[in-house]
């Protein structure tokens, strides 16, 4: 099955987002195909994080609609959108710093944990069984991301690169259909970047998860993307496969300026 030929999973239609008088996003329309790696690039302040925040429900656009598998999700709050199968990571790591790595991942299993408070109080039978089941799923993710050694450490004492990894793990624990990664390799050294890219590709290939990637590292973007969308000042200026984007005059202009 060729990637990206399965039809769209996410569709953004004429998205317009304003802060005061500033147009953060202007008439953005694009589709994300099931199972592809889509990169969103653009200079600083182009609106890349804005589109992620709009899709995940943190910003509500004044115009336009977002559809997930044909269902409109524009006006839903973030926690509802999350349960429909969209997970995200943040540009500046946003972890639950007081919890261990294990508990961070378990906290993300929350939407699957349908126990009532009384059985939680007693911790017998159902609640205990559910906790153990969730633990197994989370341990698989810890295995997958090679975090066994740090699973019981508090997140606040972990170094930056590992925190990024925990954040990816937490997004994976939601078992999403789409993962939105906001600069997953920012501030990493080469080795950490290679690890992270390997994980992203593995997630995409093994689990078939659709990935939307916001990234500044052009080598990574050009290497792993199936398609690329380029933003500049809130406008979509180009869309296409990596080779087309490299040659696109508007993209070169946006990044390098005019002669």
Task: Provide the binding-site residues for other proteins, judged by CB under 8 A.
Answer: 56, 58, 77-79, 82-83, 87-88, 90, 94-100, 102-103, 106-108, 110-111, 113, 115, 117, 120-123, 127-128, 131-132, 135-136, 139, 152, 154, 170, 174
- If the CB atoms of residues 2 and 124 are measured against other proteins, the closer one turns out to be 124
Residue 214: name the closest of 201, 199, 229 by CA: 229
79 CB neighbour count, 10 Å cutoff: 10
Nearer to other proteins, 104 or 210 (CB): 104
The rounded distance, in Å, linking the Cα atoms of 110 and 11 is: 27
Least distance from other proteins to the Cβ atom of residue 23, Å: 24
Q: In what order do the strands lie in the sheet with 227-232?
A: 86-88, 178-182, 210-214, 37-41, 227-232, 235-240
6 or 91: CB nearest other proteins: 91
Is the distance from CB of 201 to CB of 109 less than 8 angstroms? no
In the three-class reduction of DSSP (H, G, I as helix; E, B as strand; rest coil), residue 186 is classed as: coil
| Minimum separation from the CB atom of position 213 to other proteins (A) | 17
90 vs 233, which CB is nearer to other proteins? 90
Taking the complex as a whole, the smallest distance from the CB of residue 144 to other proteins amounts, in Å, to 17
CB nearer other proteins, residue 67 or residue 112: 112
Distance in Å, CB of 128 to other proteins, minimum: 8
Query: Which one, 1 or 121, has the nearer CB to other proteins?
Result: 121
We find the least distance from the C-beta atom of residue 197 to other proteins, in angstroms, to be 23
Cβ 35 to other proteins shortest distance, Å: 23
Question: Residue 147: is it exposed, middle or buried by C-beta count within 10 angstroms (0-12/13-18/19+)?
Answer: buried
């Amino acid at each position: 099955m060729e990637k990206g030929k399965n039809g769209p999973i996410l569709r953004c239609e004429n998205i317009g987002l304003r802060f005061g008088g500033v147009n953060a996003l202007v008439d953005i329309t694009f589709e994300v195909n099931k199972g592809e790696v889509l990169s969103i690039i653009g200079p600083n302040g182009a609106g890349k994080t804005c589109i992620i925040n709009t899709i995940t429900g943190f910003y509500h656009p004044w115009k336009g609609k977002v559809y997930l598998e044909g269902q409109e999700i524009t006006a839903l709050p973030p926690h509802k959108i999350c349960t429909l199968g969209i997970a995200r990571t943040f540009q500046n790591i946003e972890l639950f710093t007081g919890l261990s790595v294990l508990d961070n991942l378990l906290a993300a299993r929350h939407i699957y944990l349908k126990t009532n408070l009384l059985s939680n109080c007693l911790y017998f039978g159902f609640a205990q069984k559910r906790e153990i089941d969730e633990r197994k799923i989370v341990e698989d993710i810890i295995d997958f991301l090679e975090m066994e050694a740090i699973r019981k450490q508090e997140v606040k004492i972990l170094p930056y690169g590992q925190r990024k990894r925990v954040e990816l793990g937490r997004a994976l624990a939601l078992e999403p259909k789409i993962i939105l990664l906001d600069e997953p390799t920012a501030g990493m050294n080469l080795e950490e970047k290679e690890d992270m890219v390997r994980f992203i590709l593995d997630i995409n290939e093994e689990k078939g998860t659709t990935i939307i990637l916001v990234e500044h590292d052009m080598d990574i973007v050009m290497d792993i993307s199936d398609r690329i969308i380029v933003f500049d000042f809130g406008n979509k200026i180009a869309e296409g496969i990596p080779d087309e984007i490299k040659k696109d005059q508007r993209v070169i202009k946006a990044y390098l300026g005019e002669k």
